Amino acid sequence: MKIRTAISTGVIASIAGMALAQPTIDGTYDPGTESGFYTDLIWVNDLPTAFGDNSAGLFTGGDFGNPEVVDTGIELCIPLASLGLSGSESIRLAGWVNSGDRSFKANQVVGFLPVDTGNLGNAQDFNAAPFDGTTQHIDIDLSTVASGTVTVDGVIDGGVGGSAYTNVFLQGNYTGFGNETDGTVDGSGPNGGGSEIDGIYIAKDATNLYIFVAGNLEGNGNAIDLYIDTTAGGSSTLGSGSGAGAFIIDGQSGLGFDAGFDADYLVSMDAWNDDADDGTTPNVPRAWFGPVGGSIDDLGSLTGYGAANAGALAGGISMGIDNSNIEGVIGDQSQSTPVTPDMEWAYGSELDNARVFIDIPNNKLYLFIAGNMEANFNRMLLFFDCQPGGQNVLLDTNVDISFNNLNGMSNITFDTGFEPDYWLNVNNGVDGGTGGLIRFTDAATLRTNGALIDPFFGVIVDYGSFDGGDVAAMPLIPFDGPRIDIQDGSLGSLFANYGPRLSQLDPMSPIGNLINVDLNNSNVDGVTDVSASGAADVNTGIEICIDLDELGWDGVQDILVAGWIVNEGFDFISNQVLGGIPGPDNVGPRDSDGDGINDLDFNMIAGDQFLNLTNPTVIDVCAPDYNGDGVLNFFDISAFLGLFSAQDPSADFNGDGFFNFFDISAFLQAFSAGCP
């Protein structure tokens, strides 16, 4: 690969548009129609991605996680006599995760919902579409389940592969009620929050029936309701409840069970805040039990979660809850993810190359960054330096945007000479409620002294801007409203769906389309997890158009851009960094020593982690230089043939999707022609 540097005098003219025509913002660089606008490549990544490779053919349909390994959850001991059983009968069990008032049912059901069913909500008729043809209960022959007394503590004795319990159900759907990732027994840590039913396990002894619900019960009032059909007769449709737990049945009144399922008993577990009563631990587990046609009684509460807090409730019933499961089912849909390549969906995040076009007549900056953004809310962060001043060290006094994660990045230090004045965040992922793909871009002005405060009233007047939504309805993010907050002296933060810089100047007359963003995720070549040889060939990715006044360009200073891909929480930075890093490892946590203060300093990383957009270094890519040493020789032929034999995407030299003689012929012709 040989590089040439653009001549600095007149460089603006060489990349500035002189006509009214403009590129189409669609996440695609079309060499046939846009090569007259965009520069040649101004940066090519040389690092394999450590944030997932979007390979052809990937698909996660039916992959719901690992419910079969979960050995913690909600454990119950119920006297057989309380259910009218001897221990040799066949029974049926139905149940679900429910909201605290029992009016909104999750998609965590004991039974077999249609694949990727979202949360169910109010009462359903399980005999009607779309549930007809599936079964929302399980049959259990008590004569065949494991026998022996077990310890009721929220952990399966001997694990899921032991003999203490018999598995009678495994979950086949994602959870729409939060995916617990904390790992603590009470689920109360900073990453806590989720309810799921991963499996049902049954055991018995001479006196008791043991029910183990593998999974999690979030300590926010969510519930798990289990209905047991023990004998002929009972309730085929839920009506009105009675007793202290009447609200449990009332919340799902009208629900129709599967044909042949007649509920006789209800056992329900939830968490509640009893501080107002006796001052004990808030959000403690409790249970309810009784005949569906009779009184549903409050059995009392445990003192907390985990083995030390398990114990007996009223009526001879015991319970223990351990919320430490972080395996189980996933927190988003599985089947809806398409087979790659796909324009909207990617299974990995990478930056491959970059091009720029500064359109002086139309006052716009176009930036094309080839690559992918995984549909998991990984984020591409871009920082622009376009006028004197700015924040070489990010402040914690910027506007509240991206759930205040912009301020959460405070104390990150950029390379000397780079002082950003503007910030963008591009991300996409799955909406936990609808299961659809959503995409957003956030924007903020970065001022030298932090967000602008009105000196007289002492209130913020700078905006945190955002736009986006369902990808199917809004493939292009236009920043054209309608939201713009008007400061009345009482607002601590201001938000808008317009560009933040010019909105601050005239919030009563906001201007739309100052920022346009689109993303095409169909790249399955580019950098892989082992090679970066295909990075220069990628022509799909993130395409951005920004009004130069909105950006804040003073018309004199070179426009610089820094950026990287980071995780959803903004705190773990990948090795996909504009300008490049020595690699191959990820940059890692921005707070490397864990003291709560960000200490990432790009001056400590070799090279410049930013690109010059107005005076760029333009790269002539030599396609047949497969070993990247700038010389065409036998080693390039050997490298090509090795990749060709392995059917590496980078060896599809003519780009037709096949590996055959035509690729070899095209390579040899390019090799013979040499490089600039």
Say what the pTM is: 0.58
For residue 371, which amino acid is it?
A: G
Give the tens place of pLDDT for each residue, 177-204: 998 888 888 877 665 679 999 999 999 9
Q: What is the per-residue pLDDT for 12?
A: 41
Question: Which residue bears the tokens 């009526």?
Answer: 315
Q: What is the per-residue pLDDT for 661?
A: 85
Walking along the chain (676 residues) 10 residues at a time, the average pLDDT comes out as 31 42 93 92 95 85 82 97 96 96 95 85 90 90 94 94 92 90 79 87 97 94 96 95 96 95 97 58 86 96 92 96 92 75 93 97 97 95 98 98 96 98 95 83 98 96 97 94 96 97 97 98 93 93 98 97 96 96 92 92 96 89 71 85 82 73 83 72
Q: List the Cα angle 157/159/161 in 5-degree steps.
A: 120
Question: Which residue bears the tokens 């939060």?
Answer: 178
Q: What is the per-residue pLDDT for 16?
A: 43
Q: Which of 75, 108, 103 is nearest to 285 (CA)?
A: 75
Q: What is the per-residue pLDDT for 21?
A: 77
Q: What's the half-sphere exposure (Cβ side, CA atoms, 13 Å) at 13? A: 4
CB 272 within 8 Å of CB 300: no
Residue 582 burial (10 A CB sphere; 0-12, 13-18, 19+):
exposed
Q: What is the per-residue pLDDT for 367?
A: 98
Q: What is the per-residue pLDDT for 276?
A: 47
Which residues are CB-contacts of 669 (< 8 A; sequence separation ≥ 6)? Answer: none
Q: What is the per-residue pLDDT for 3?
A: 31
Quickly list DSSP for 449-473. Answer: TSS-B-TTT--B---EEEEEEETTT
Q: Which of 478, 398, 393 is nearest to 440 (CA)?
A: 478
Query: Count of CB atoms within 10 A of residue 512's CB?
Result: 14
Q: What is the per-residue pLDDT for 20?
A: 55
- What's the distance, Cα to Cα, between the start and end of the chain in Å? 9
Give the tens place of pLDDT for each residue, 598-650: 999 999 999 999 999 999 988 766 777 777 666 788 888 888 898 888 887 67
Q: What is the per-residue pLDDT for 325?
A: 93
Query: 218: which 2 tokens?
Result: 């979030």
The secondary structure of 1-14, three-state, reads CEEEECCCCCHHHH
Residue 307 in 3-state DSSP?
helix
Residue 424 in 3-state DSSP?
strand
Dist. CA 352–CA 369, nearest whole Å: 7
